[in-house]
Structure 1
Amino acid sequence: MKALVLAGGKGTRLRPLTHTSAKQLVPVANKPVLYYGLEAIREAGITDVGIVVGDTAAEVRAAVGDGSMFGLDVTYIPQEAPLGLAHCVLIAREFLGDEPFVLYLGDNFLVGGIAGLVDTFRRADYDAQILLTRVAEPQFYGVAELGPSGEILRLEEKPEHPRSDLAIVGVYIFSPAVHEAVRAITPSARGELEITDAVTWLIDHGSRVHSHLVDGYWKDTGRLQDMLECNRIVLERIEPGVRGTVDRLSEITGRVVVERGAVVENSILRGPIVIGADTKITSSYIGPFTSIGASCLVENAEIDYSIVLDGSSVHGVSRIAHSLIGRNVEVSRATGMPNTHELMVGDHSRIQVPA
């Protein structure tokens, strides 16, 4: 079995970060989201992986390389434009050959992995298996209606009146039968070849399409609140360890990771948190569910429930919460101008300040 990982797309919901970075490489607990998916694929016993890349191909290649760091053999498949998930299958035909494969969306975060899904598919005689999870608001997702034995009867994309609360997760397994389906369908109203249309084609032509319910936690990390929630889930499971330097004036409580080269002085760290390599924390409070990237500086500041990416500095600011701060960003307190906010903000940003 092979795997096809989708790492293209524009990541419009995470702008401005994704103007300069692939959405699949935004970190959760200081590790890119894409890495979690590649690790899950390897843990399922799959080593031959194709990665579909778009405008951010160079960045994805630099981050993943030939796949050997994950125990994988990676082939890159360029996609000229984001023309749909089924289009990714279409252009990967030569790589996939006549083997079954996992289709994995690289910006999806799934706790518990996919080993159970893969094992079930290998034992069964299915043409497609779709991963599902129960959600509170199914009208915002692709939704599946199931038969009595778990077979897929119908798929609907963001239905006004959902027939179930089972949302489609961004992980699928297909037999080679899907190649005929992706050739047969036509672009949707938004000009893309939809994978749900390919699955529907399989159902209409008598193929066996089955469901598999998610055992663990799942999120599509396309929005800020989803990134922060994934960060929280991972941090709750981290193994604490101080490999950097923490002075006697500092206080550590809970699950805290301080990476090599990091320095903590006269500060309070309330876990679960991760402090990246070569970062300096001085006279600050870092609260629960926060990850600070590598080579950052936090001084006389308070941060909690947030993600700070590599190379950024936060100085003299309290209190930052529910925030995602990009790479090489400087956040500081304005001086000499009471009741004034000085901002240099890029396109598609969101800023909240006190009234």
Structure 2
Amino acid sequence: MKGLLLAGGHGTRLRPLTHTGNKHTIPIANKPMVLYAVENLINAGIRDITVILGPMKEGITEAIGSRYPATFHYVEQEPLGLAHAVMKAEPYLDEPFIMHLGDNLLQNGISQFLNRFNETHADAVIGVTPVKDPRQYGVVVLENGRVKKLVEKPRDPPSNLALVGVYVFTPIIHDYTRKLKPSWRGEYEITDVIQMMVDDGKRVEVVHVEGWWKDTGKPEDLLEANQLVLDGLEGTFHHDHATIQGRVQVGEGTVLKENVTIRGPVVVGRNCVIGPNVYIGPYTSIWDGCELSDVEIENSILMKEVKIRGVNARISDSILGNNVVVESKPGIPRVTRLVVGDRSKITLSSP
């Protein structure tokens, strides 16, 4: 069994965060999101993984590095759909493979997909889960437990079952991608490929995904994914001077100064300086090298080397890119929500 990891795309729904980097390198609980998919594949026993890179490919190879016990192949693709990624990677996919979207997080990993494939000897295995707004996803219609129809991002969804971003295929899929034509969106849709297999009588099995699943396509999805991962945080950090409540992890080299309160779940990276006069509330992740003073923050994601100084308003529900600086000047205090791209500087008013 081989792996196909998709880490391309333009990330338009996450701008400005993706103007300067690949969306798959954005951290969830201080880990680039693509590594959750990598580790799912590794934990499932996959040792040969092809990674699809898009036009904005910076940071992917560096994030994956060489620490995993697998061989990685990197293939560049102009984003023309999931099936197009399979077409580009075909030379590496000469045996059954599991395709994992790099921006999808699954609480319980991907073993249930492989188990279903091995038990049924299927030609394909797909995952589904009910969602509130199926219009944003590929949608699956089942009849007596079998796949009947698939529709990509329908305006009038025929069911509430969304396709999860993990698939298992045998090499027979290449017979279908070679005959595929672009959809009305101008993309080669994986839903069209699977539909062709269903219509041809191929065995397509369904997994009803257990545990939470998150597609991190929008800023609010990133924050929700951060919450879901932090909910599983283990361990408690103790400090002689700071007030620590709940599950908190603090990285090596981080300094906590006077009058610091941290309420978990919270993760703080390495070599940060926190304080004086800092409150960090639940569901906040602060990556390496950040500096916070005279600020309150909660339910937010801070990427590397963010600096926040003297902000007389609670920052909440925010995502701050690498090297962002946020400071304040006199004005009216208020709650602040920010989504700020890399190397930006924000000046807020304060009284």
Alignment TM-score, normalising by the size of structure 1: 0.91
The counterpart of 2:253, out of the listed 253, 256, 261, is 261
Q: CA deviation at 1:36?
A: 0.6
**Does the aligned pair in 1 maintain the 2:8–2:55 contact within 8 Å?**
yes
**Does the aligned pair in 1 maintain the 2:22–2:58 contact within 8 Å?**
no
Correspondence for 2:289? 295
Q: Does 1:276 align with 2:269?
A: yes
Correspondence for 1:314? 308
**Does the aligned pair in 1 maintain the 2:137–2:153 contact within 8 Å?**
yes
Correspondence for 1:60? 60
What secondary structure is seen at the aligned counterpart in 2 of 1:41?
Answer: helix
Question: Deviating runs (4+, > 4 A) in structure 1?
Answer: none
Residue pairs, 1:15-30, within 5 angstroms = 15-30=15-30
Q: Does 1:87 align with 2:80?
A: no
Residue pairs, 1:125-136, within 5 angstroms = 125-136=121-132
What secondary structure is seen at the aligned counterpart in 2 of 1:130?
Answer: strand
Provide the rounded CA distance (Å) in 1 between the counterparts of 2:156 and 2:184.
20
Deviations 1:200-249 (A, max 9, x none): 11111111112111111111111111111111111111122449xx442x
Alignment TM-score, normalising by the size of structure 2: 0.92
**Does the aligned pair in 2 maintain the 1:242–1:259 contact within 8 Å?**
no
Q: CA deviation at 1:339?
A: 5.2
What secondary structure is seen at the aligned counterpart in 1 of 2:59?
Answer: helix
Q: CA deviation at 1:152?
A: 0.8
* CA RMSD between the two structures: 2.1
**Does the aligned pair in 1 maintain the 2:18–2:341 contact within 8 Å?**
no
Deviations 1:63-86 (A, max 9, x none): 113xx422221111111x111111
Change (3 A) 1:167 1:181: same
Correspondence for 1:142? 138
**Does the aligned pair in 2 maintain the 1:334–1:340 contact within 8 Å?**
no
Provide the rounded CA distance (Å) in 2 between the counterparts of 1:232 and 1:328.
23
Deviations 1:95-148 (A, max 9, x none): 111x11111110111110001111110121211111111112223321101121
Higher mean C-alpha deviation, range 270-279 or range 70-79: 70-79
Q: Does 1:331 align with 2:326?
A: yes
The counterpart of 2:163, out of the listed 143, 164, 168, is 168
Change (3 A) 1:105 1:271: same
**Does the aligned pair in 2 maintain the 1:30–1:292 contact within 8 Å?**
yes
Provide the rounded CA distance (Å) in 1 between the counterparts of 2:333 and 2:123.
61
Q: CA deviation at 1:340?
A: 11
Provide the rounded CA distance (Å) in 1 between the counterparts of 2:42 and 2:254.
31
Provide the rounded CA distance (Å) in 1 between the counterparts of 2:96 and 2:41.
14
Provide the rounded CA distance (Å) in 2 between the counterparts of 1:288 and 1:178.
45
Higher mean C-alpha deviation, range 299-308 or range 261-270: 261-270
**Letter of the 1:7 counterpart:** A
**Does the aligned pair in 2 maintain the 1:247–1:264 contact within 8 Å?**
no
Residue pairs, 1:199-210, within 5 angstroms = 199-210=194-205
Provide the rounded CA distance (Å) in 2 between the counterparts of 1:163 and 1:188.
19
The share of aligned pairs that are identical, in percent, is 45
The counterpart of 1:237, out of the listed 215, 232, 241, is 232
Provide the rounded CA distance (Å) in 1 between the counterparts of 2:333 and 2:26.
31
The counterpart of 1:73, out of the listed 40, 52, 71, is 71
**Letter of the 1:88 counterpart:** A
**Letter of the 1:46 counterpart:** I
Provide the rounded CA distance (Å) in 1 between the counterparts of 2:231 and 2:105.
15
Q: Does 1:252 align with 2:244?
A: yes
Q: CA deviation at 1:267?
A: 0.5
What secondary structure is seen at the aligned counterpart in 2 of 1:334?
Answer: strand
Q: CA deviation at 1:346?
A: 6.9
**Does the aligned pair in 2 maintain the 1:308–1:324 contact within 8 Å?**
yes
Correspondence for 1:41? 41
Deviations 1:5-41 (A, max 9, x none): 0111110111111111111110000001110111111
The counterpart of 2:215, out of the listed 210, 217, 220, is 220
Provide the rounded CA distance (Å) in 2 between the counterparts of 1:29 and 1:161.
35
Higher mean C-alpha deviation, range 55-64 or range 307-316: 55-64
Provide the rounded CA distance (Å) in 2 between the counterparts of 1:108 and 1:10.
16
Q: CA deviation at 1:162?
A: 2.5
Residue pairs, 1:182-193, within 5 angstroms = 182-193=177-188
Provide the rounded CA distance (Å) in 2 between the counterparts of 1:226 and 1:201.
31
Unaligned runs of 5+ in 2: none
Q: Does 1:102 align with 2:98?
A: yes
**Does the aligned pair in 2 maintain the 1:280–1:297 contact within 8 Å?**
yes
**Letter of the 1:279 counterpart:** C
